[in-house]
């Protein structure tokens, strides 16, 4: 059976050379759309009053419009103004993971939890202590172990805190994870910082054993967390002239794919570093927003995706659904995620996972579009295609409802929304 048909006129065409035999149909269980949205987080620094984070009304508006529900920041003992701001963000639906200080005693943790109130959902161990420890701490790994054990015992031994998640410390290399060793008895969730050095989010790696890939970084983190749910508490892409920097347009393509690649890999939550550029090397321009508080294209792209997929209500586990389908045609490097909302709507997200920018030459790389067929086993009431426009907003196009759809997939995420037969279109 050839997969070229009338729908090609709507979706960009299907040349005779691209026509291929249909793949075998398979049934895939969709994951909840809200579970994906719930996996998205962002780093902020509200205690940095002398920079753009000092403009809290603007920061609050940016976070609300972005649509994230999970934020990572640090404990700022004694800064009651930060507590007030965190409570205001919590009133808008956001909850915080807090990086803990070097001495996480029950009193310090309880005082901070009382200060920020219901905004808190997790405490996290030391941040990259393998590279941030003072020179005077010759046995930094032992310090990391002691602090994590103290943190875990303080949280779980304090009734008012025991419900909080305790996240493992973040480290920057497999060697550092090996030095710290197994702390799985003292964590509820693992932790990794898997920056990809300007490579595409789904990179297979650029060194031995897949160095730099998501699976490589998960494997390293497992040394500490055992097999606990894992979080990427920092990851992202710079938009500055460095050996790992991208341009704005490539960051806008990579950021939605970054969250989807992590979600597909089983990462429980991923925190973009960060919301706002702070200026200065080496991490001064990783923001989704400039230091002047102007959204970059990546901010708009992520906000648009969250808005489309949000399914607030009774919890992420309420959504379920399956799709019996086959992807055919030119599917090399085409990645996908299948999601469902609790009303039965299905969302098939598709993208070409290839590198789109050479940070060394500061040049975009041409990633060709690919003609892909979506063969459906049964009828649907309606089908809608969402693509990003030039302003990074997802725009919809109604599709034919035949058994075969022809899609032009690019290195920017597109979404096929399907209404199962029997539901109103």
pLDDT in tens, 313-332: 554 456 789 999 999 999 99
Residue ranges with strand state E in 116-265: 120-124, 165-167, 190-193, 230-235
Cis peptide before 403 (omega within 30 of 0): no
Instruction: Give the residue among 309, 203, 319 at the shortest CA–CA distance from 262.
Output: 203
Q: Alpha helices of 327-409 — where are they, by DSSP H? A: none
Q: Please give the Cα distance from 14 to 17 (Å, whole number).
A: 8
The predicted model gives 203-219 an average pLDDT of 96
Q: Which of residues 369 and 362 earns the better pLDDT score?
A: 369
Is 22 a residue whose pLDDT tops 70?
A: no
State the DSSP H helix or E strand holding residue 29, giving kind and residue range, or none if neither. strand 26-29
pLDDT category at 242 given cuts 50, 70, 90 is confident
Instruction: Give the residue among 320, 292, 258 at the shortest CA–CA distance from 41.
Output: 258
Is 278 a residue whose pLDDT tops 60?
A: yes
374 φ, ψ (degrees, to nearest 5): -115, 105
Residue 314's pLDDT is what?
54
The predicted model gives 398-404 an average pLDDT of 93
Contact between 252 and 300 (Cβ < 8 Å): yes
Instruction: Give the residue among 120, 126, 129, 102 at the shortest CA–CA distance from 158.
Output: 120
Instruction: Give the residue among 70, 72, 63 at the shortest CA–CA distance from 94.
Output: 70
Instruction: Give the residue among 407, 405, 404, 401 at the shortest CA–CA distance from 421.
Output: 401
pLDDT category at 359 given cuts 50, 70, 90 is confident
Beta bridge partners of 382: 419
CA distances from 295 to 189, 284, 285, 291, 408 (A): 31, 15, 12, 9, 28
Cβ-based neighbours of 29, under 8 Å, separated by 6 or more: 320, 321, 322, 338
Residue 425's pLDDT is what?
61
pLDDT category at 4 given cuts 50, 70, 90 is very low
Contact between 383 and 418 (Cβ < 8 Å): yes
Alpha carbons within 13 A on the beta-carbon side of 244: 18
Beta bridge partners of 409: 370
**Rg (alpha carbons) of the chain, rounded to whole number:** 22
Residue 318's pLDDT is what?
62
Q: Please give the Cα distance from 196 to 217 (Å, whole number).
A: 10
Instruction: Give the residue among 264, 268, 410 at the shortest CA–CA distance from 337.
Output: 264
Is 254 a residue whose pLDDT tops 90?
A: yes
pLDDT category at 312 given cuts 50, 70, 90 is confident
Burial of 132 (0-12, 13-18, 19+ CB in 10 A): exposed
| Of the listed ranges 77-81, 174-178, 185-189, 279-283, the one predicted with least confidence | 279-283
Is 335 a residue whose pLDDT tops 70?
A: yes
Residue 21's pLDDT is what?
43
The label of the residue with tokens 């969709």 reads: 30
Residue 9's pLDDT is what?
30
CA dihedral sign, ordered 285, 214, 251, 96: negative
pLDDT tens figures, 107-134: 999 999 999 999 999 999 999 999 999 9
Is 99 a residue whose pLDDT tops 80?
A: yes
Residue 164's pLDDT is what?
98
State the DSSP H helix or E strand holding residue 14, giving kind and residue range, or none if neither. none
The label of the residue with tokens 């508080």 reads: 293
Q: How far apart are the first and last CA of the chain?
A: 29
pLDDT category at 213 given cuts 50, 70, 90 is very high
The predicted model gives 66-74 an average pLDDT of 98
pLDDT category at 75 given cuts 50, 70, 90 is very high
Q: What percent of the chain has pLDDT over 90?
A: 86
Q: Angle formed by the axes of helices 248-264 and 297-309, to 10°?
A: 40
Contact between 272 and 212 (Cβ < 8 Å): no
DSSP annotation string for 151-171: HHHHHHTSTTTTTSEEEPPB-
| Of the listed ranges 68-77, 239-248, 265-274, 403-412, the one predicted with least confidence | 239-248
Its pTM stands at 0.93
Cβ-based neighbours of 376, under 8 Å, separated by 6 or more: 323, 324, 325, 403, 404, 405, 418
Residue 20's pLDDT is what?
44
Contact between 409 and 377 (Cβ < 8 Å): no
Residue 281's pLDDT is what?
75
Cβ-based neighbours of 3, under 8 Å, separated by 6 or more: 14, 19, 20, 21, 22, 328, 329, 373, 375, 404, 406
pLDDT category at 1 given cuts 50, 70, 90 is very low
Residue 424's pLDDT is what?
63
């Amino acid at each position: 059976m050839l997969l070229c048909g009338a729908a090609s006129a709507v979706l960009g065409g299907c040349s005779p050379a691209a026509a291929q035999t249909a793949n075998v149909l398979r049934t895939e269980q969709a994951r909840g759309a809200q579970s994906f949205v719930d996996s998205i987080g962002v780093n902020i620094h509200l205690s940095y009053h002398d920079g753009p984070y000092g403009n809290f009304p603007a920061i609050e508006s940016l976070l609300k419009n972005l649509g994230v529900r999970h934020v990572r920041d640090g404990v700022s003992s004694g800064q009651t103004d930060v507590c007030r701001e965190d409570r205001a963000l919590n009133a808008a639906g956001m909850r915080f993971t807090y990086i803990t200080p070097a001495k996480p005693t029950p009193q310090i943790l309880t005082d901070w939890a009382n200060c920020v109130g219901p905004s808190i959902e997790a405490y996290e161990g030391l941040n990259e202590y393998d590279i941030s420890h003072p020179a005077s701490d010759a046995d930094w790994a032992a310090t990391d172990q002691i602090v994590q054990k103290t943190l875990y015992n303080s949280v779980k031994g304090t009734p008012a805190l025991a419900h909080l998640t305790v996240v493992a410390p973040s480290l920057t290399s497999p060697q550092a994870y090996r030095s710290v060793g197994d702390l799985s008895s003292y964590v509820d969730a693992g932790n990794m910082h898997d920056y990809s050095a300007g490579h595409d989010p789904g990179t297979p790696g650029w060194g031995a054993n897949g160095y730099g890939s998501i699976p490589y970084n998960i494997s390293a983190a497992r040394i500490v967390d055992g097999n606990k749910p894992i979080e990427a508490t920092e990851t992202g892409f710079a938009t500055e002239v460095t050996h790992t920097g991208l341009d704005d347009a490539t960051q806008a393509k990579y950021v939605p794919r970054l969250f989807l690649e992590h979600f597909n890999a089983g990462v429980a939550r991923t925190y973009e570093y960060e919301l706002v550029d702070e200026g200065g090397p080496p991490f001064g321009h990783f923001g989704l927003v400039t230091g002047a508080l102007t959204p970059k294209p990546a901010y708009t792209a992520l906000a648009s995706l969250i808005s489309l997929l949000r399914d607030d209500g009774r919890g992420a586990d309420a959504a379920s659904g399956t799709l019996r389908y086959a992807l055919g045609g030119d599917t090399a490097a085409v990645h996908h995620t299948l999601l469902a909302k609790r009303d039965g709507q299905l969302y098939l997200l598709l993208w070409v996972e290839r590198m789109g920018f050479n940070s060394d030459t500061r040049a975009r790389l041409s990633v060709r579009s690919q003609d892909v067929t979506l063969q459906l086993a049964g009828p649907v009431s309606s089908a809608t295609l969402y693509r990003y426009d030039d302003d990074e907003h997802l725009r919809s196009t109604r599709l034919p409802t035949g058994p075969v759809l022809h899609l032009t997939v690019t290195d920017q995420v597109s979404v096929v929304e399907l209404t199962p037969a029997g539901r109103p279109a």
